[in-house]
Amino acid sequence: MAGVIEWFWRGAKLAQARQESAEPTERAATCAQRAHTSAELAQNVLSPNEPTEGPFEAYACELFRQSVYWSLCALVARAGTEPGSSYDPAIWDSLEGPELADVSTRERRDLLKSTLRSASFVEFAELPAAEQVATCAEVRTLALALLAKLDRRAEVLSAIYLERVLRLATLGLFAVALVAGGLQVRSALEKRRDLAYERPWTASSQFNKDGCTSPAQQCPEASGYFFHTTEEDSPWLEFDLGAVKTVSKVDVTNRTSCCSERAVPMTIEVSTNHNSWRSVARRDADFSEWSATFTPAQARWVRLRLLNRNYFHLSHVGIH
């Protein structure tokens, strides 16, 4: 059970990810933000919103250089050493490892490290155009690699949180489907237990061709009722159960659109031969839904009948 919970919650995996990569200090977070801002400004210089003329590699190179510097400061701060608030050339000594691997040759890597440590915007601007382009591309690659390293912890944690959300969402969808399936099964079982379900019914008369066609109790043609008699003495609705059954409850839903008072006084009668009828329940008070329970009785026919002169109409009848 614990393993199943862990599969959904991902708690151990989150703890391991946090342990493998310490949370940035406040100083590290500040430096990382500066690194991102410098890189974004450099990207905007290389790809301005409005077309302009002129070489911008020197400007972009200086901004990417600043991004590299702040990334290194953030990484040093994460290692437990707080870099100073003023420019510290020693920060460049921490520039080692795979971030330099994309620079083509060792000579170029050594030159890039020297350039980052000592070069200025003026020196970048004085380089030949081709060298400006090459140097800018190298510094940009390095800056983006360091930013990716800074963001790796957040990306790993976000991926684990996304796993959690997706798996919990899957569990939620499964639960919804299970509940919906259960409700459908329950509805199907209730319909099967309903002796009136798909059994033919007959009304004493039909008002203006209103209502459904037997055995339906729902249809587009009717609104709020499934049958509607004319005004007459003791109008009735009768169900043929097909064979003698034991009946102990009749659920009655009154007309939903209006005129609920017309359904009373009402009696429920049963018969085994369609000639002699016995009343098993009676309702005198107005109702929306009535669940009439009574001593189990044998019946093939079940009849609902008004005890006065009126129209008769109901929304649903279930027999159990």
> Beta strand 266-271 with 289-306: parallel, antiparallel or unpaired?
antiparallel
> pLDDT by residue (tens digit) across 262-305?
999 999 999 999 999 999 999 999 999 999 999 999 999 999 99
Task: Give the H or E element holding residue 149.
Answer: helix 129-193
> pLDDT by residue (tens digit) across 180-237?
766 665 555 555 679 988 899 999 999 888 888 999 998 887 788 999 999 999 999 9
Please compute Rg for the chain using Cα positions: 41
Mean pLDDT value across residues 250-267 = 93
Q: Classify residue 116 as left (phi > 0), alpha (psi -120 to 50) or beta.
A: alpha
Q: List every span in the chain annotated with CATH 2.60.120.260.
A: 201-319
Residue 51, pLDDT above cutoff 50: no
Instruction: Give percent above pLDDT 90 in the chain.
Output: 35
Asked whether the beta carbons of 236 and 304 are under 8 A apart, the reply is: yes
Lowest mean pLDDT among 41-50, 125-134, 191-200: 41-50
Maximum average pLDDT range among 87-91, 93-97, 264-268: 264-268
Please report which confidence band the pLDDT of residue 254 belongs to, taking 50, 70 and 90 as the band edges.
Answer: very high
| Alpha-helical segments (H) within 47-128 | 57-78, 106-118, 121-126
Query: What's the full length of the chain, in residues?
Result: 320
Residue 68, pLDDT above cutoff 80: yes
List phi, psi (to 5°) of 52: -140, 165
Whether omega for the bond prior to residue 55 falls within 30 degrees of 0, making it cis, is no
> Beta strand 201-203 with 309-310: parallel, antiparallel or unpaired?
unpaired
Give CA–CA dist 112/34, Å, rounded.
Answer: 21
Q: Look at the block and give the residue holding tokens 């061709």.
A: 209
A 10 A CB-CB count for 3 gives 6
Domain 2-169 falls in which CATH fold? Four Helix Bundle (Hemerythrin (Met), subunit A) (1.20.120)
Q: Look at the block and give the residue holding tokens 């009717």.
A: 222
**pLDDT score, position 310:** 96
Mean pLDDT value across residues 114-138 = 80
**pLDDT score, position 37:** 92
Higher-confidence residue: 47 or 259?
A: 259
Residue 118, pLDDT above cutoff 90: no
List phi, psi (to 5°) of 288: -100, -45
Q: Look at the block and give the residue holding tokens 């009948």.
A: 305
Residue 79, token pair as written in the block: 């290692």
Please report which confidence band the pLDDT of residue 170 belongs to, taking 50, 70 and 90 as the band edges.
Answer: confident
**pLDDT score, position 320:** 92
Rounded mean pLDDT of the chain? 82
Mean pLDDT value across residues 78-94 = 70
First CA to last CA across the chain, in angstroms? 42
Whether omega for the bond prior to residue 265 falls within 30 degrees of 0, making it cis, is yes
Give the side-chain half-sphere CA count within 13 A for 36.
10
Lowest mean pLDDT among 93-107, 132-146, 292-306: 93-107
Higher-confidence residue: 43 or 180?
A: 43
Asked whether the beta carbons of 254 and 289 are under 8 A apart, the reply is: yes
Query: What 3-state class would DSSP assign to 28?
Result: helix
Q: What is the pTM of this model?
A: 0.47
Q: Indicate the CATH number of 201-319 among 2.60.120.260, 3.30.70.890, 1.10.3720.10, 3.40.50.2300.
A: 2.60.120.260
